[in-house]
Structure 1
Amino acid sequence: MKFDTDLPLQHPWIREASPMHLPPPVLLTALQQPRLAGLDALRAVAVLLVIVNHLGLDRIGPVMVFDGSLGVELFFVISGFLITWLLLGEHERHGRIALGAFYQRRVARLLPASLAYLLVGMGLLALRHQPIPWGAVVSTVLYGTNYYQAFTGAAAHYLSHCWSLAVEEQFYLVWPFLLAALLRHGRSPRQALGLSIPLVWLYKAVLIFGFGVGEVYLYRALETRMDQLTAGCLLAVLLKTPRWRRHFEQLARQGWPLPALVAGLVLSTSLLRDTGTVADQQLFGFALETVLLCALLPLVLIKATERGATAALLNAPALVLIGQISYGMYLYHPFVVHPVRNAIVRLGGPPAAGILVAIAALVVVAWASFQWFEQPLREWLRPRSLSSDLSRPPHAGTHRPPTRSAPAAPGRPSPAT
């Protein structure tokens, strides 16, 4: 195993430290795995938070224990981190980012499940003789649901939750081009990302205090939610440097930061975003939670590769499965969770049993979609030229010159959020 000081440099903005005695680079080892241990557990937590929120189970009486929308924030941070990490790794291996292949992978990742959900939903509405929300359908197809809702109101229907998918895709229409341009000119993306986050907060303050913009727009617009995505991107850039990896490894060894971060997230969502004003929610709550989530993610990656109860929990097969099918669970839950729970309750079952059966049914539906519909279509749509090479985990802060004479190692590509 190579230690940080043995690794050559790829990007001029990475500066390698050279201490003589370092502990094993635990985070580097975790980041070099084909699948990042702990990431599926975080995805599982994110989607379960959303479902619990939509079931109205995030309160004890009038008191909000946690805000389930934290799950969407976690999805945004994971997405920004993972996609930036993969793009940086591609640049390290090939000296460039193939943007066409990136967007083909995004289509292969997102289109099968979203198309299935859209068509099944329209079919069910037609069978029930219920009106189809054509405006929402068109905006979903065009990945503009967030602005459609921001300007027309967040009406409740089976496509309401697709606003978050629109935010991500709008962001990825810009960020890969910007990242490729910065790397092509030997510039660090760190400054651009670091500057963009406080600019988003300042922009939101102007909207709130200067123009009285309401929560519906602030919660859904790309320019008011992109700080969580860019924070995840910045985290990926920082973890390319040994100094930042060592900082997180030192935190992980102390034991207390992980539970402290979780407690901070619970307190922020239950206090700042439940009882606070719009400014408290948008300027302080979201900002604090973004920072806490970015600190949490690398600690989870470290803990998931160690031994002990925390690693066993993060690598529990049930959590890993839910994380792998979290996209489908997020999509399908409006059509599964409420009807199944209500049916169990009507049959005389206790509400708790209805909730458990509903979540189990959702897992079955999402797994079936993943295995028999999404995966075959993804394999068919995935770009053949890079699919095998992308299966190799990028080395943190290393340069592997592209090999043109030998075929790429076979394997499964890392999933993008």
Structure 2
Amino acid sequence: MLFLLVRVPDHDFAAAPTGKVGGDESQELSILLSKAGVFGDYWNWAGVLGNFAFMTNYMRPLGWTGPPGTGVLWSLAVEEHFYLLFPVVFAFGLMKLNPKQQALSLVIFCAVVLAWRIVQVKYFHVLETVASDPRTYFTTDSRLDSIAFGCILALWNNPVLDRSPDVKPMHWGWALAGGLAILGSFAYRDEAFRQSWRYSIEGLALIPIFHAAISYHNSPWFSWLNWKSLRWIGLMSYAIYLFHIIAYAIVPAVFNTSSIPMKLAVVIPLTFLYAFSMYALVERPLAKLRKRYN
């Protein structure tokens, strides 16, 4: 059970429970496939327990390895750590502040996390110690700001709740600037930049984009986001995210091919089939139970 901090019109806050499922099921499926011989046994039970305990993003130094395809659970671990820590910090440190002061406090927090990433890159040389993604990419202490940027939007100039005459919607040009900033962060390939400044730039750039998508949801630029097909995909996006790496690993193991078109021809329908099954058999029934007993 997770807790999502929700802003209400009188500027009070409530912890609203919401459910997320899929991570455990994906891991269990990967274990079954490994035991069936589809995947190799290059994982250990410590990694399985680490994933269950939301320690995926801190397992590498311990030598713990999760089942194939479960590495994406690092982002779920960051979320879970945030949902555990943030309500406590908010209740005891930010509750008495007004929304603008709360947002400013989170801006300062995001700046501190950015500074910590820079220190890791420049002085701890994290880019030189690993062959794959460094800790600045996946550890909670390095990535909590990515969620905090969304909280800033909820607190400051909220496009849904802040509808007083004194609060005007952001000009659409800010959304354009945000999009260009994100494209620029993709284009600039310096690894030190990518593992430090890039995450902060992208987090800031997404604020005006989301603001515009809500404020101007009927405009041709954003109305397509409300298409029924996209809403349908959105319902299953979490399961899609969790399973697609597993599906991608299944193809060469079963079909003995490295052809990208062949992989996509199998991965896409297989992923959607899994996601729909999860939604129909697990998520929707649990949502009904939650609604009944909440």
TM-score range, shorter chain: 0.7 to 0.9
**What is the aligned partner in structure 2 of residue 227 from structure 1?**
145
Match for residue 198 of structure 1?
Answer: 111
Give the letter aligned to residue 266 of structure 1: L
**Alpha-carbon distance change, 351 to 198 in structure 1, aligned in 2, over 3 angstroms:** closer
Summarize the Cα distance change of 1:343–1:211 in structure 2 as closer, same or farther, 3 Å threshold: closer
**Equivalent position amino acid for 2:47 in 1:** A
Partner of 1:400: none
CA contact (8 A) 1:97 1:180 kept: no
CA displacement at 1:307 relative to structure 2: 4.2
Q: Give the number of aligned pairs.
A: 279
Aligned pair partner of 2:90 in 179, 191, 216: 179
CA distance in 1, matches of 2:13, 2:226: 34
Which residue is 1:119 aligned to?
28
What is the CA deviation profile of residues 335-392 of structure 1, one whole-angstrom value per residue up to 9, with x for unaligned ones? Answer: 2234358878959xx844652552233122101211112221243356834xxxxxxx
Relative contact order higher in (CA < 8 Å, ≥ 6 apart): 1
Write out per-residue CA displacement over residues 300-350 of structure 1, whole angstroms, 9 at most, x where no aligned residue: 22332x143x34421222222221111100111122234358878959xx8
Q: Secondary structure at the match of 1:198?
A: helix
The TM-score, its normalising length taken from structure 2, stands at 0.80
- Give the match for residue 65 of structure 1: none
Match of 1:358 in 2: 267
State the TM-score, normalized to the length of structure 1: 0.59
Which residue in the other structure is 2:130 paired with?
none
> What pairs with 1:227-246 in structure 2 (closer than 5 Å)?
227-238=145-156, 239=158, 240-242=161-163, 246=168
Q: Distance in 2 between matches of 1:265 and 1:220?
A: 19
SS of 1:325's partner is: helix
**Counterpart residue number, 1:88:** 7
Alpha-carbon distance in structure 1 between the residues aligned to 2:81 and 2:256? 40
Q: Does 1:296 align with 2:214?
A: no
Q: 1:183 and 1:258 mapped to 2: Cα distance?
A: 29
Residue of structure 2 in register with 1:368 after alignment = 277
Q: Which residue of 1 aligns with 2:77?
A: 166
Q: Which residue of 2 aligns with 1:269?
A: 186
Shift of 1:88: 1.7
Residue 282 of structure 1 deviates from its aligned partner by: 2.4
Deviation of 1:169 (Å): 0.5
Structure 2 residue runs of 5 or longer lacking an equivalent are 128-132
Q: Secondary structure at the match of 1:246?
A: coil
Amino acid at match of 2:212: L
- 217, 225, 230: which one pairs with 1:314? 225
8 Å Cα contact 1:151/1:217 also seen in 2: no
- Closer/same/farther in 2, CA of residues 354 and 384 from structure 1, 3 Å limit: same
Q: Percent identity?
A: 19
Distance 1:329 1:359, change over 3 A: same
Q: What amino acid sits opposite 1:331 in the alignment?
A: L
Q: Deviations over 1:194-252 (max 9, x none)?
A: 2101111112222222322335211111111111111111111011544795141xx13
Q: Which residue of 1 aligns with 2:57?
A: 146
Q: Distance in 2 between matches of 1:324 and 1:227?
A: 25
Distance 1:276 1:298, change over 3 A: same
Contact 2:47 2:66 in 1 (8 A): no
Moved more, 170-179 or 332-341: 332-341
Partner amino acid, structure 1, of 2:135: Y
Aligned partner of 2:245 among 319, 331, 334:
334
Unaligned runs of 5+ residues in structure 1 are 1-81, 386-417
CA distance in 2 between counterparts of 1:325 and 1:134 reads: 28
| C-alpha separation in 2, matches of 1:157 and 1:222 | 22
What is the 5 A alignment of 1:30-179? Answer: 83-84=4-5, 87-89=6-8, 92=10, 97-98=14-15, 102=16, 105-106=17-18, 109-110=19-20, 112-128=21-37, 130-131=40-41, 132-149=43-60, 152=63, 157-179=68-90
In structure 2, the CA distance between the partners of 1:317 and 1:341, relative to structure 1 (3 Å rule), is farther
The Cα offsets for residues 244-265 of structure 1, whole Å up to 9 and x where unpaired, read as 95141xx13xxx5444433331
Cα distance change, pair 207–307 in 1 and its aligned pair in 2 (3 A): closer
